[in-house]
Each structure stands twice: as structure tokens, then as C-alpha cells.
């Protein structure tokens, strides 16, 4: 299919909201995005419109839309029927001031303690330079009992890592509970999109999370194309799928080295870094940028050179050998096996995505569930069952092999097609959704465009938003020295989460 199936639109009152969303969840749909909009002029007559996007297992899409007056900015909470909904509601409350009534966790998510109490940055009337206070504290559940003590880590870390605070409650070396606090570098990305011509949004999308330039820019342009009714030629869709796999390859190879490095096997990390560098240089030949920026455009995708299939096959083969050497080592196996287990039920209930979900037996993958191109027989959804660091390592290793096969197949299919330039309208309006399986998991952008082709709203959901909360669950009964190992096996994005 060249364009996504149009979503089923369900308009409800706030009294009908819980039942409407529960019905879709009962059909096996997943709540993938909640976007709030401030319609009309700022002030007491403004209307909030909240869009709940649910994705089905076979490409189906549903939007449940509710409107409420800004003067009565509340909705009944969905947290009782969906854990992800509760997280989205807390984000919407922080950014727009819409209160989720009777929410079980009615405290801030995005805004830290020093943010003004009544300040909601996504409102049209919000002061761009608010008066921040000095209280940077935050509430957390304190664990008490004999022998329990706390270890605070971050938000400033020793390495090249973005800020995040982790509060461990520990008995001996065993973690009883871990509380995480993110959003130290909230950048206001979604508001930065507003007012830009649609073509100018690509550069911003590429920079949401540097290691996911293809994933974010592709989800963004697919949403724009959906809004404007642009049909993308088959050759360009195959090229986009190819770029996604190249992004998956260099990141997964980097991760398998980093995971075993935290288990003390640095030599494998050095060789993984060597392989990653080969791919980054190859990326530069393909697109002119090591991180694959500049290749995605509205209506298509461009390569500067043909992929070097021999290089890709060699790198994938070496990566498999490195993984075998690592997991055959008893010291590494001892550290990876049965460490930081995330069982299937909490993974499913919490809405975890990507390789973390698949390592816990949850086969969620937009390449299968929400495909924009047929990947053929070379594609398979890789899963594992144990949900530990070893499973998350093994899923990456197997996905590297799958990606290498897909690169070869997609390249051959691209070479058999003539380039076609898709007509791109200079103006037009509408709403659209872009869904892709980025290397960390399913990534969603929803855009609204006015009649002049200018963005009025862009909502972004990086897979890390859904996966971060499960880290604390996996760390229960894990020892403190294994936190870096467990954290790296999740490898959630700070930047993708802290929009």
C-alpha cells in the first residue's frame, strides 16, 4: 500500500470517553498516542481537543476524539484501563493543564518542582520565559525497613550520557525499588514545529534523537503525506525501508558491544565499535551523512550511491561471531543470564515496545503490524521468552542478521524499479499519522497542517516513552552493580523521551 489506511474516527463526550477507549482496547488495539490541541483563540472560550490514537494488530487505526472547554479542563482518567494512558494523561496535564480526574498518580511527569505551578508550556498564551523557582525536588515512594538505604545516581553522569536521576532503595546489594526521574532537558520540540512549512519540519524531526534520524524523519514525512494525500512511489518506499534497516544495523551493533562491555568484556566492545565505524562511513557514502540525515524528503527518499552488500554481509557475519565469542565466555554468560528479568505480562500491560518487548515474548513490531511496504520472506519478527539481559542481547543479534538479509533483498528490488517523482501539493490541509518501526521500537508522529501547508500541531511519541517505566520493574531483585548492564540492555533514549 502506498498510503496508510484512513483511521476510523470516533467522536465522544467526556462521559463516553472511558467506554469508547475500553472498547478498542478490548478489540486488541494498543493506545499509541494522545495529542492535545488548543483550538480557537486563547482565553476562556478556547476549546481543548484531545485525540487518542489506537493501533490495531493488522494495520487498523482508530482515533477517539473528545472536546472540552478550556474553562472546564478535565477528563475522566483512563489509567484504570490502560497504564500507557495514565502516562499520556500526566504529560497532557503538565503541558496543557488538562486534569485527568481521579488519576492514581496525580503528580507531575514532565515539569519538575521548579516549574511554576500554573505554567503549561504548550498553551498559546504561555510565557516563553517563565519565572522558574529553586525547588527541584520531586515526590517518590520511600522504602523503609531494616537495612534499607538509598543510593542516588545522577542526573549528571560520568560518561557522555544525557541527564536522568535514578533513586535506588537497596538492602545489601539487592535493589528493592528503583525510581527514575527524567525530563531534565525538556526542549519544547513539539512547539518548535508549529508555524513551520511542512518541508522545514524534516530537519527538526531528524534531530529529535540523533541516533534515530531516519526513524523520526520518516514518521514525520509519512504523517505529512497522510495529511496531504501524497502517494509515495514503490521505489521510494523500498528506499525508506532500506534506510531504516541501516539505522537498525549500526545501533544494534553498537549495543551488543556496549552490553558486554558492562560485563567486563571490553575487547568485544572495541571490535563492535570498529564495525559500527564501517557502517557509519558507509552511511556517509549512501546519504552524505554518517547518521543518514538528508535522505528522507516529502514524497520520496534519495540515495547518493548503491549499498555495498559485501560490506554489509561481512559486518553482519563479524557481529554474529563477536556475539558468539561473548556469550560462550562463562563470565559474560553469568552476568547476562537471568539478570534484570522483565516478564511477558508486565511488558504487555505497560505497553513496552521494540527489542525490550520482543525479548519478553511480546511480538510487537510495526513492520508487521503497521507496514508501509511488503518486506517479503526475508523479514521475521524476532522474539525471545526469558526477558533478561541475555534475551535483549540475543534479539539484537538476530535482528542484525534479519536486517542484513533485508538490505540485500531491498537493494535488489530497488534496482529493478525506475525512479518516479511523486507530485507534492504546494498547499493543502489535514491531519495525518506516521508509524514506523525505528530501531528502538514503534515510533509515531501525528501532524495537523493548515490550508497553506503550515504545521499547526505535531505530536511525537518515541518508543522510549513507553519503555522507560519498565526498567524499574526489571531491576527488582537485581544487584546494584548490574544496573549499568540492565540499563544498557534497555538503552532507552533520553532525548526521544525528553521532548
> What confidence tens digit (pLDDT) does each residue in 436-471 have?
999 999 999 999 999 999 999 999 999 999 999 999
Spatial strand order of the sheet with 30-39 comes to 8-12, 61-69, 47-55, 30-39
List the one residue out of 138, 122, 125, 139 whose CA is nearest residue 34: 122
Q: In degrees to the nearest 10, what's the CA dihedral of 375, 379, 383, 388?
A: -90
Residue 1: pLDDT band (50, 70, 90) is very low
Domain ranges of the chain: 8-101, 189-497
Write the CB contacts of 359 (distance below 8 Å, at least 6 apart in sequence). 342, 383, 384, 386, 387, 388, 391, 392, 394, 395
* 304-340 pLDDT per residue, tens: 999 999 999 999 999 999 999 999 999 999 999 999 9
CATH class of 8-101: alpha beta
DSSP assignment of 409-453? HHHHHHHTS---PPP--SSB-EEEEEEEEETTEEEEEEEEE-TBS
Please tell me the distance from the alpha carbon of residue 181 to that of residue 480, in angstroms, as a whole number: 18
- Size (the chain), residues: 499
Asked which of 145-154, 217-226, 380-389 is least confident by mean pLDDT, the reply is 145-154
- Record the cell numbers describing residue 232, joined without a space: 509515495
* 135-162 pLDDT per residue, tens: 656 667 788 888 899 998 888 887 778 8
Beta bridge partners of 150: 169
Q: What angle do CA 262, 267, 270 make, to 5 degrees?
A: 90
- Asked whether the bond before 155 is cis by omega within 30 degrees of 0, the reply is yes
Residue 282: pLDDT band (50, 70, 90) is very high
Cα radius of gyration (the chain): 22
At residue 3, the pLDDT reads 54
For residue 213, pLDDT over 80 is answered with yes
Let me know if the fold of 8-101 is the same as that of 189-497: no
Please tell me the distance from the alpha carbon of residue 23 to that of residue 20, in angstroms, as a whole number: 5
Question: What angle, rounded to 10 degrees, do the helices at 266-287 and 234-261 form?
Answer: 160
List the one residue out of 200, 227, 192 whose CA is nearest residue 450: 227
At residue 144, the pLDDT reads 81
Residue 75: pLDDT band (50, 70, 90) is very high
- Please compute the mean of the pLDDT values over residues 236-249 and round it to a whole number: 98
- The phi, psi pair for 107, rounded to 5°, reads -115, 170
Q: How far is CA 228 from CA 104, 144, 196, 310, 430, in A?
A: 39, 56, 15, 39, 6
At residue 135, the pLDDT reads 63
At residue 426, the pLDDT reads 67
Q: How far is CA 478 from CA 140, 169, 337, 359, 389, in A?
A: 20, 11, 12, 18, 11
Looking at the domain 189-497, which fold is it?
Answer: Cytochrome-c3 Hydrogenase; chain B (1.10.645)
Q: How far is CA 411 from CA 154, 191, 250, 498, in A?
A: 44, 37, 18, 35
Amino acid at each position: 500500500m502506498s498510503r496508510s489506511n484512513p483511521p476510523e474516527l470516533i467522536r465522544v463526550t467526556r462521559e463516553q470517553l472511558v467506554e469508547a477507549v475500553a472498547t478498542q482496547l478490548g478489540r486488541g488495539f494498543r493506545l499509541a498516542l494522545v495529542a492535545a490541541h488548543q483550538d480557537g483563540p486563547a482565553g476562556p472560550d478556547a476549546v481543548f481537543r484531545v485525540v487518542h490514537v489506537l493501533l490495531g494488530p493488522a494495520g487498523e487505526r482508530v482515533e477517539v476524539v473528545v472536546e472540552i472547554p478550556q474553562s472546564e479542563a478535565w477528563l475522566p482518567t483512563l489509567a484504570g484501563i490502560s497504564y500507557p494512558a495514565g502516562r499520556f494523561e500526566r504529560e497532557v496535564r503538565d503541558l496543557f493543564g488538562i486534569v485527568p480526574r481521579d488519576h492514581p498518580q496525580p503528580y507531575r511527569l514532565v515539569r519538575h518542582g521548579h516549574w511554576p505551578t500554573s505554567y503549561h508550556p504548550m498553551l498559546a498564551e504561555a510565557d516563553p520565559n517563565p519565572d522558574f523557582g529553586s525547588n527541584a525536588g520531586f515526590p517518590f515512594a520511600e522504602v523503609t525497613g531494616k537495612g534499607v538505604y538509598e543510593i542516588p545516581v545522577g542526573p549528571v553522569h560520568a560518561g557522555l550520557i544525557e541527564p536522568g536521576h535514578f533513586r535506588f532503595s537497596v538492602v545489601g546489594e539487592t535493589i528493592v525499588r528503583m525510581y527514575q526521574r527524567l525530563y531534565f532537558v525538556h526542549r519544547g520540540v513539539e512547539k518548535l514545529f508549529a508555524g513551520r512549512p511542512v518541508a522545514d519540519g524534516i530537519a527538526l524531526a531528524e534531530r529529535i534523537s540523533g541516533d534515530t534520524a531516519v526513524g523520526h524523519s520518516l514518521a514525520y514525512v509519512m504523517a505529512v503525506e497522510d495529511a496531504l494525500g501524497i502517494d509515495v512511489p514503490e521505489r521510494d518506499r523500498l528506499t525508506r525501508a532500506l534506510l531504516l534497516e541501516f539505522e537498525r544495523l549500526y545501533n544494534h551493533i553498537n549495543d551488543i558491544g556496549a552490553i558486554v562491555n558492562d560485563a567486563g568484556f571490553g575487547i568485544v566492545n572495541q571490535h563492535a565499535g570498529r564495525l559500527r565505524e564501517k557502517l557509519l562511513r558507509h552511511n556517509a557514502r549512501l546519504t552524505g551523512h554518517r547518521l543518514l540525515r538528508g535522505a528522507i524528503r516529502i514524497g520520496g527518499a534519495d540515495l547518493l550511491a548503491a549499498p555495498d552488500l559485501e560490506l554489509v554481509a561481512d559486518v553482519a557475519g563479524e557481529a554474529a561471531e563477536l556475539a558468539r565469542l561473548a556469550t560462550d565466555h562463562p563470565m559474560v554468560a553469568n552476568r547476562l543470564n537471568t539478570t534484570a528479568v522483565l516478564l511477558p505480562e508486565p511488558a504487555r500491560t505497560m505497553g513496552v515496545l521494540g527489542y525490550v518487548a520482543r525479548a519478553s515474548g511480546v511480538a510487537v513490531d510495526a513492520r508487521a503490524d503497521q507496514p508501509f511496504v511488503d518486506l517479503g520472506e526475508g523479514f521475521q519478527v524476532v522474539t525471545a521468552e526469558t526477558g533478561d539481559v541475555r534475551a535483549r542481547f540475543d534479539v539484537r543479534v538476530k535482528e542484525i542478521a534479519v536486517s542484513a538479509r533485508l538490505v540485500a533483498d531491498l537493494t535488489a528490488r530497488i534496482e529493478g524499479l525506475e525512479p518516479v517523482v511523486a507530485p507534492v501539493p504546494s498547499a493543502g490541509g489535514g491531519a495525518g499519522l506516521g508509524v514506523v518501526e525505528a530501531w528502538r521500537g514503534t515510533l509515531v508522529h501525528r501532524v495537523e497542517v493548515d490550508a497553506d501547508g503550515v504545521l499547526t500541531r505535531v505530536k511525537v511519541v518515541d518508543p522510549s516513552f513507553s519503555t522507560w517505566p519498565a526498567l524499574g520493574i526489571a531491576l527488582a531483585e537485581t544487584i546494584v552493580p548490574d544496573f549499568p548492564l540492565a540499563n544498557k540492555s534497555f538503552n532507552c533514549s533520553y532525548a526521544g523521551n525528553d521532548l
